[in-house]
Structure 1
Amino acid sequence: MTKSAIAWTTGHALNIYANQSTPLTIHSVKEELRELQVSAKAEIDSTFFEGTYFNSVSQLQYGDRLKVVFEVRNLHQRDFVLIKGLLEFHRLPEFVFAYNKEERTFDATISKVNQAELIRFLGKVTTWINQEFSFRTHLKGMISFEREYREKLAKVYTGGDGYTLSRPF
């Protein structure tokens, strides 16, 4: 334990990074590896996706693949099933999604070259969610209007408001 603690403090700690020939490799950290690590971090934006309904919380790059974990925001956690349905119904074959209903998170595994396409897709999903909420609001208004209309119509037919028509004698 003391040897590993010394290794961690002296800068010879192990670091996992992506290599072109193998999916995952482990190397000791040296100056040239630190430069590679900094350039790799610059390629992956830490705020990969910030949306109204969900945002990315972590990323893992291995080889040419990228796995991004998204968390549904607290205000919209009750709409997790809607988000999941829209993601699965419209997703491209290149995207692989995994869902955790208890934590209200989902993972997207993509090829690194499809990163911009995933951002564009998530923007479309956000638009579809907005449209769904707008539709729900308008539908509730229409149902309320229909209910009021039927109540007034029932009063007219029962003669409760004096709106009945009769022939003059």
Structure 2
Amino acid sequence: MRTQAEQIAAIRADQEFWRAPAEVGPARYDRPGPMGDWSFADMAGHLTGWRERTINRIHAVGRGEPEPAPLWIVEPEREDAVHEVNDWIRAQHAGRTPAQLVADYDASYDRLIEALEAVPAQLQTTVLPWADDEPLVDVDFTGHLHDEHVAPVRAWLDGTNGSRPT
């Protein structure tokens, strides 16, 4: 089992990794392509929406409370429900600038770390049903970015997904 310090160091390293796609650049944050018709900013908003749920869950663990209800009405238990939640998250970000969406995702790393640091030591090994029954300290809170989004963004930047940012 890793320590909280190791977990936080991994999150900080991932935050630096996230910042590396600066080659996308603010002028292209709103261009569709990296995730189908979603832009890089849409993806950042999506990641922020899901991360906020995670942060709320961690705060509950730290307070010894039950898992809070999600912010959205649909509970993502089936594949089509996940798409409904993603649509809900995207609608919540309507009217926000691409730069705000990208900056908010970057700032969510700090909020995630603050939430983890607020968890008392005796609760850091709490097994979490919502995280595949892993102890809090062993959960990879940035895996979704790598599993689902890094390769499509890289392909978009390289022009190997059929579109190329301009």
TM-score by length of 1: 0.27
* Greater strand content: 1
* Greater helix content: 2
Q: Which has the larger radius of gyration?
A: 1
